[in-house]
Amino acid sequence: MIRVVLPYHLRTLARVEGEVTLEVAPPVTQGSVLDALEARFPMLRGTIRDHVTKKRRPMLRFFACEEDLSHEAPDTPLPEAVASGKEPFFIIGAIAGG
């Protein structure tokens, strides 16, 4: 199972607390994790990546294993620790403005 940590407002939107766990068939990539997340929580579509282009929204970043993975291609395999469920995949909003 893949663990995903959502930012506060997306947890509220999805009506979840804490981490989200998802079943993701290999290969476990940014793209396949987000596909699974959006399938389970359709209200999150368009809030993390653009509906059409699937590009990450500019004020969000992806982290895992203390690395910023935001600029990795969506089909790049995520670290083994994420794929095994040992480490979560973080979706983090920019700490910006009021």
Interface contacts to another protein, rule CB under 8 A: 7-10, 12-13, 38-39, 41-48, 51-52, 57, 59-60, 93-94, 96-97
Tell me whether residue 31 or residue 79 sits nearer to another protein (CB atom): 31
CA distance 37 to 24: 9
Q: How many CA atoms lie within 13 A of 52 on its CB side?
A: 0
Tell me whether residue 57 or residue 79 sits nearer to another protein (CB atom): 57
Neighbours of 85 (CB within 10 A): 13
Tell me whether residue 8 or residue 71 sits nearer to another protein (CB atom): 8
